[in-house]
Structure 1
C-alpha cells in the first residue's frame, strides 16, 4: 500500500465516527477503490488501515468480507487480503451489465430533465476541469461519477447499489491502461453529448450515444488486456 493511500484513509477517519460499522468502513474502502487509490493486486494491510481509520481488527475483517463478496477484494490463504485483479472475461461481463442497465435508464427519458441532472452535470464539469490540469486519475473518477449519476435517474436504490458495485469493479479495469490520458480524454466530449441529449429530453438519442460509447470503451479495454498478456 502506498503512503498516499494510507494518508487518504486517515482523512476518511472522521467519516466513521465512534459508532462506525463494517458497512460504513466498506463504503470508505469502496470509495477509495472507485477513486483509483488501490491498484489491482495491492495487499491491504490490516495494521495500516486499522491504524489510519481507528477501527478494530474484527470490524476491518468484516468490511473485507463484504467487499470480497462484491468481488472487489480476494482473500488468499496465509497471504492476506488483496485488491482483485480482473480478467478480460470480467470486462466483457461488466460492459454487458452496463449496456443492459444504463442504456435502458436513459432510453426511458422522454422529457427535459432539470435538477435531476445536477450530479451528472457536476461530474462532466469536474472531468473537464481535471483534464485542464492533467489530473488523469481524477478524470477517471469523474467519469465514474457521471455514470453513477445516470444510474440515479432510475430512481431505484437497488439500481444505485448495483451501479456502485459495477463501477467500483470498473475502476480496477482502468488500471490496465498504461497511459490513461488518450483513453479517458476523448470520452469527456461524449459525456457532454449524452448530458445535452438528456437535458433536452432526447432519451433515444442519449441511448444511441451511450451504446456507442460503451462499445468503444469495452473494445479499448479488451485490447489493452490482450496487449498486457503478450
Structure 2
C-alpha cells in the first residue's frame, strides 16, 4: 500500500476564496483600520454560511490583517508605531544580514530578474502587482542567507508587509518605488556590501517614517 493512497488534492476552499477576496478589499481600503468584519452581514450579503465566513476570518487572522477584540469580534488591524517598528525591525535585521553576504552568480541573477519584474510592474501602473514584485525582490535578497527556514520566515512577514505596502502605495508612485530599489541593486551589483546595507536601512527607515505619518 502506498503511503499516499487515499490522499486527495482539493481545490481552494470557499473559505480561502473569501479570505483572498476580503484581503483584497482590505488592501484596497474598502475596510479601514479598526473596522469590524461583521460575519452575519457578510454572510447575508454574499449568500454563504456564517461558519464559512468565520473560517475565512480565521485565515485572515493568520496573515496579521485581522484580529479578534473582546465584545467587538473580528476587526481590521489598526497599526501603532510600535507594531510597525517591530515588523520593520525584523525585516531590516534579516535583509541587512543577507545583503552583507557576497551573492553567487545565480543569486545575483535572481535579484536582478526580480528587479526587472518590478520595473515591468511599475510600467503597468497596477499597484497590487507592484507590491507583489516589490516583495519578491526583497525575498530574493533574503535568499542570500541560504536558509530555507529564514526564507520561509520572511515569506510569513510578507503577508503583513503587504498591508503596509498597500498603505504606502497611496503616497508614492511606482517610479519612486523602482528608484529606491535600483539604489539597492546597484550597490549589490557593484560589490559594495557596506553601501548595500546602508541602502536597505535607509529604505526601511523611510518606510517606517512614511507609515507613521500616514497611519
Q: Shared fold (TM-score greater than 0.5)?
A: yes
In 1, are the aligned partners of 2:99 and 2:193 still within 8 Å (CA)? yes
The residue aligned with 1:72 is: 65
How has the CA–CA distance of structure 1 residues 178 and 192 changed in structure 2, closer, same or farther, with 3 Å as cutoff? Answer: closer
1:104-143 → structure 2 map (5 Å cutoff): 104-107=97-100, 109-110=101-102, 112-143=103-134
Identify which range, 68-77 or 131-140, moves more after superposition: 68-77
How has the CA–CA distance of structure 1 residues 66 and 193 changed in structure 2, closer, same or farther, with 3 Å as cutoff? Answer: same
Supply the distance in 2 between the matched residues of 1:49 and 1:121 (Cα, whole angstroms). Answer: 43
Supply the distance in 1 between the matched residues of 2:95 and 2:52 (Cα, whole angstroms). Answer: 37
In 2, are the aligned partners of 1:92 and 1:218 still within 8 Å (CA)? yes
Supply the distance in 1 between the matched residues of 2:192 and 2:169 (Cα, whole angstroms). Answer: 36
Supply the distance in 1 between the matched residues of 2:85 and 2:128 (Cα, whole angstroms). Answer: 22
The secondary structure found in structure 1 opposite 2:167 is coil
The residue aligned with 1:3 is: none
In 2, are the aligned partners of 1:50 and 1:60 still within 8 Å (CA)? no
Q: Does residue 96 of the first structure (1) align with residue 89 of the second (2)?
A: yes
Runs of at least 5 residues in structure 2 that lack an aligned partner in the other structure: 1-7
Counterpart of 1:205 (choices 183, 186, 195) is 195
How has the CA–CA distance of structure 1 residues 131 and 175 changed in structure 2, closer, same or farther, with 3 Å as cutoff? Answer: closer
Q: TM-score, normalised by structure 1?
A: 0.66
Supply the distance in 2 between the matched residues of 1:133 and 1:93 (Cα, whole angstroms). Answer: 32
Larger gyration radius, structure 1 or structure 2: 2
Q: How many residues were matched structurally?
A: 199
Q: Does residue 172 of the first structure (1) align with residue 163 of the second (2)?
A: yes
Supply the distance in 1 between the matched residues of 2:200 and 2:118 (Cα, whole angstroms). Answer: 17
Q: CA RMSD in A?
A: 3.9
